[in-house]
Every structure is written in C-alpha cells, then in structure tokens.
Structure 1
Amino acid sequence: MHRFEGKAVIVTGAGSGMGEATARRFSREGAMVALVDRDGEAVRRVAADLPSDRSVVHVVDVSDCGAVEAMVAAVAGRFGRLDVIVNNAGVHAAGKPEEIDNESWRRVIATDVDGVFFGCRAALPHLEKTRGCIINTASVSGTGGDWGMSPYNAAKGAVVNLTRALALDLGARGIRVNSVCPTLTRTGMTVDMLKDEALVDKFKERIPLGRVCEPEEVAAVIAFLASDDASFVSGINMAVDGGLSASNGQPAQA
C-alpha cells in the first residue's frame, strides 16, 4: 500500500519500539517521515534504513515546549506540509505511591502528558491546512488501573481524555484525533518485564489471544487511524490488546 505518498508525518519516540515500527510503516507506505527522539544515536540508526530524501531526524526531548515547537516548524518547512503527528514518546516509573519521588513523578507527567499536548498544539496550524490528524499513544493503563504504576496510570489516563477533548475541539477544523491503547508490547520499556517468564505467563492468561503484542501490530493500527480509511473516526481510544479489555476482570471459569 502507498496510502501516504506525498504526505508528511512526525513520529516521536521513533528511536525504538512502537515509534520505530510506526516510522518504518509510514515510510514503507510512501510518507515523508520526521523521526523524533531524545536518543540521537538510536533515532539515527532507524533513519539510516529509510529513504534519505523522505526522512529527517530531530533529537528532541518532548517535555521541552520550545524544542517541540521548533521541531514542528522545521518539519513543516522541510516537507512543505504536515499531515500526521504521532505523539508516541513516553517514559515509565513504577513503585508504591510512597516510593515515587517528585522527580520521577514530574518526569513521567512532563514526557507522557506535557509532551503529547505540546506536540498537538504545535501541529495545529499545519494540520488545519491539510485537514490532517493526530494519533496519541495511550495505553490500557490509561483506561484502567495497575498495581504499582500510579504515575504511568495518571499520565496515560490524561492522554485518553485529552484525546477525547481535542477531538471535540478540533473536529470542526477538519482535524481528527485518536489514540491507541496497547497492552504489554515487546519494546525497550518492557524488556525487563518480558524476561520474567512467570509474569509473562500471567499476561498470557489474561489476554484472550494468548501472547504479547508486537510493535508492528500497534504501528498497523496507527497507520489505519491516520489513513483515509478512518476518515470518519475521531475521538476514540482504540484498544490494541488482544481482547484484554473485553473482560470484566473476573477469572476464567473451569
């Protein structure tokens, strides 16, 4: 498919995991892609595999509002337009509430919430010209709580409702806003979790499809939401969870 030929896309957190898979997916479908990450070495490694005439790298910490605004303006100037922004960059902190220090709390909120809003706001004037769209990376952790993950739950819950609010505010301007809500996915953020076989088995017991999500599967849903195939889809937080959210939480019956 070549659904994005001639279109310009920004992907934050493009140096690994879902962001990397998403950048590669858009590039494969013909898009001009701006790969954004705070890890310059990682994001340049990804970009090295993509067409140089349709790819650009920006090393940016999305919690820095000024840096995000400058990046979006530079991308729109380089490609002459902006059609899609994927606000995917995120960090994680875990522990009991009394173990979460102020720095860890602020780091998660600044990246996972502030960074998403900064990206959305900076992109608006460009997306209005192209009647483009926003896709945010939320999580199943934004639609329900987890044990020992209060900062991440708070941040992703904010992204879920921010997505809804922006869809209401921006629909009349022709801008669609959606999010994806993955469950446990094979990324750098989850590498330690995936080493714990007993924990992974517990996830598999709860996920009807019985396996961990792959980043390419999330990227495919993001590409759908950005495409004309989803032209009347806005304000949804789409579960990419193998059926996990279909459950009411009660255990399987014998």
Structure 2
Amino acid sequence: MSVFHPGIQDRVYAVTGASSGYGLAMAKAIVAAGGKVGLIARGKERLKNVVAELGEQQCFAVAADVTNSAEAEEALKAIKTHYCRLDGVVNNAGMARPGFAENYSDAEIQQQLNLNIAAAMYCTRAAIPLLQGGDNPRIVNISSASAEHHDEMQGLSLYAASKAALERLSRDTRRELQEYGIGLTILRPGAAMTEFAAGWDMARLEQAVTAWNKRQGGFMDTGMEPGHVADALVYCLGVPPGVSVDVLEVRPNRLAEKFKF
C-alpha cells in the first residue's frame, strides 16, 4: 500500500479505466500518497462508488468513453477545470478478449485496437497542452508483460500485439515530449487478480488455457496484487523533474500450478 510521497503531494493525475482493477488500485495509491485523482471510466455508478470511498476532496469523476477522441479531450479538460491544474495522465484503460486469428470478429479486433492504442493516443494528444507549464508533468502508459514475454497466456496475441504497439508508440512520443518537459513512462505489469477476464467467452478461455498449458507447461507465476503495480506507479509519478522512468516492469514471482478446466 502506498504511503505519503512528497513528490506527488497535492498534485492531480487523471487515470483512465479508474473504476476497477489496476486503475482503481492506482487511484487509491495516488490518494494515499497525498495526491488527487481525476477518475475516468464509462460506468457512472461505479465511478460514484469510488468517489464515495475515496472522498470528494481527493477525487473527481468523469464518465467518458476514451475511444471517442472528443470525450477523452473533454474529460481531461473537465478534470483540469475542476482542480485548476493537471500534473499527469495515466493511460490505463485497456481490454483483452481470448481468441485465435481464425475466430476473432471484426468488432473484437477493432475494440481492442481502439482501446489499447487509439484511446491512449487520444488522451496523450489532449493532455499535451494541458500539462505544459507544469513543474513535473507526467504521462504513464500501462502496457503488459505479454508485450515482452512469450510465456504469457496463449490466445491473447491481439492484446499482446496492441500493447507492444503502445510501447513502440510510447518510445517515440517520449522523445517528442521532452521539448515540453513532459516525462513519459511505460509501466509493464504482469498478471494479478483483477476483473481483467470479466465477460470472457468461457469456451475460448478454455481453448486458450489448454494451448498455454501444452506449450508452456503446467506452472505459472503468481502472487502479485494490483496494489503492487499501483505502488510502482506512484514511484514513476514522483521522480524529480529532469528524471523519467523509461520502462518499469512488475511481475509476480511465486510458482504455482496453472488452473485447469
């Protein structure tokens, strides 16, 4: 659990996908560290519950679909207007659907590419003028260990590819943003127990896990919680001006037998 961090005290950070999973853990960690959070997600009721939990002084919620560029821009503007400042944006919103090349529908392909790549670009583009002039502005793009490691679960190739593309985009954007004094970080988490798999097709999940077990064996890494990744985020946001964490990977490190159907 994050504790007070002078590097982000009273600073304001927008977090997309903030109503559950890693995004919710990140919002809690920022507040615990002394910062304030602009929560962005699609579900109004879930956002309302997060505000009630964390407090209206510490967080402000905007319901928006960040795959819509206009909504993404308006959400970030609303957060800056509310707090009269914006110090960073965490592009956390993302999705995965298990499947293989032969059975992905057009809609499934577009949904993953739009949320995992385009939405991050929309928010980054909108954030640049809002962050300029700050004394330590930050953008953090949340990737995935599957972008780098080939022993992650099978059947998530499209998700992994989209996150790898996000990382490549981030590397060039990082250099572009140096002109404005904006730091950009890739934060690459491994697997933790979240609602990441909510709504997955169980038949496809079984197919993916079966292929994973066949190719990579019967054991996997486990033991990580969303809060561990959130603590890493606080560190990335709080480094001093002129310093930027380039890539930070946080992965589970306890061996466990894989689940079976």
Classify 1:203/1:167 alpha carbon distance in 2 versus 1 (closer, same or farther; 3 Å). farther
Separation in 2, partners of 1:203, 1:47: 43
Q: Deviations over 1:204-241 (max 9, x none)?
A: 9443xxx232000000001100002585124x232111
Classify 1:13/1:204 alpha carbon distance in 2 versus 1 (closer, same or farther; 3 Å). farther
| Equivalent residue, structure 2, for 1:67 | 71
Partner residue of 1:225 out of 236, 246, 250? 236
| Equivalent residue, structure 2, for 1:44 | 48
Classify 1:228/1:107 alpha carbon distance in 2 versus 1 (closer, same or farther; 3 Å). same
The gaps in structure 2 that reach 5 residues or longer are 255-261
User: 1:22 is matched by which residue type in structure 2?
Assistant: M
Residue 154 (1) aligns with residue 165 (2): no
Classify 1:101/1:46 alpha carbon distance in 2 versus 1 (closer, same or farther; 3 Å). same
State how 1:109-124 maps to structure 2 within 5 Å: 109-124=113-128
Instruction: Tell me by how many angstroms 1:59 deviates.
Output: 0.7
Residue 141 (1) aligns with residue 152 (2): no
TM-score when normalising by structure 2: 0.83
Moved more, 223-232 or 111-120: 223-232
Instruction: Tell me by how many angstroms 1:176 deviates.
Output: 0.6
Figure out how many residues of one structure are paired with residues of the other and give that number. 238
| Equivalent residue, structure 2, for 1:186 | 193
Separation in 2, partners of 1:204, 1:53: 47
State how 1:173-212 maps to structure 2 within 5 Å: 173-190=180-197, 205-207=219-221, 211-212=222-223
Separation in 2, partners of 1:168, 1:189: 31
Classify 1:229/1:39 alpha carbon distance in 2 versus 1 (closer, same or farther; 3 Å). same
Determine which structure has the larger helix proportion and give its number: 1
TM-score when normalising by structure 1: 0.85
Residue 163 (1) aligns with residue 170 (2): yes
Instruction: Tell me by how many angstroms 1:57 deviates.
Output: 0.7
The gaps in structure 1 that reach 5 residues or longer are 245-254
User: 1:52 is matched by which residue type in structure 2?
Assistant: E
Q: Which structure ranks higher in relative contact order (CA pairs < 8 Å, sequence separation ≥ 6)?
A: 2
